[in-house]
Amino acid sequence: MDFTNFSDLEKYLNTPSGQNTMTTSGLTIKEIVSNEANELKSIIEKYMNAYFEESRNSVSGIYNRTGGLQNSLIEVKLEDVKVVGNVATVSLNFDEDAIRAYSIFNGDYTGYNKLELMDHGWEVRDDVWFHDIPNFGEFKGLHFLKDALDEYNSKNPYGLDIKVEGLHYEI
């Protein structure tokens, strides 16, 4: 196939047949992106494990963490990756039961997810007895997703711009 300009090549690469084109490495473009997305998954898990362990130690005595969130990230599949130009958008999938946040007071589901709370942080807005207790009424966030993306991008062999979607905030 001959392309006279980059725009035509880019259009082709964004088609199903283009993304299934075999590269000199023996992998399709979609397989390369999927492998890179799973590399990002491994880096995210590394940060989650390190940061959550540190966080777990800081709240001992207040409540016990289950550790379920650390194992909640599901393998990235080809259908979870969309490629447009050199931007790969990855949908990270988590075990929904593992990321649901339940009240420590009554056990009810709060409507929040622990992943976003642990990454982004929180601050209790009401004037309740625990509002100013660090890591309980307020938490600055671990920012493990941004740190993982920064690490991935620092050694990204293909120059892909990986974006994470599905969060209630932008990384």
DSSP string, 24-37: TTS-BHHHHHHHHH
CB 160 within 8 A of CB 87: yes
Give yes or no for residue 92 having a pLDDT over 80.
no
In angstroms, what CA-CA distances link 97 with 36, 109, 120?
A: 26, 11, 19
pLDDT digits (tens, 9 = 90+) for 100-138: 887 777 888 777 888 888 888 888 888 888 888 877 788
CB 95 within 8 A of CB 74: yes
Cα 60 to chain centroid distance, Å, stands at 26
Burial-class residue 159 by CB neighbours within 10 Å (0-12, 13-18, 19+).
exposed
pLDDT the model gives residue 59: 53
Question: Quick one: tokens of 105?
Answer: 């007071």
Dist CA 88 CA 144 (whole Å): 20
CB 78 within 8 A of CB 30: yes
- Top pLDDT among 80 and 96 is at 96
pTM for this structure?
0.70
Which residue bears the tokens 């966030």? 141
| Residue ranges covered by each domain of the chain | 6-107+143-165
Question: Quick one: tokens of 62?
Answer: 């207040």
Dist CA 103 CA 130 (whole Å): 14
How many of the other CB atoms lie within 10 Å of CB of 141? 16
Dist CA 99 CA 28 (whole Å): 33
Residue 91: pLDDT band (50, 70, 90) is confident
pLDDT digits (tens, 9 = 90+) for 10-59: 677 677 777 777 778 888 777 787 788 788 888 988 988 888 777 666 55
- At CA 166, angle to CA 169 and CA 22, rounded to 5? 130
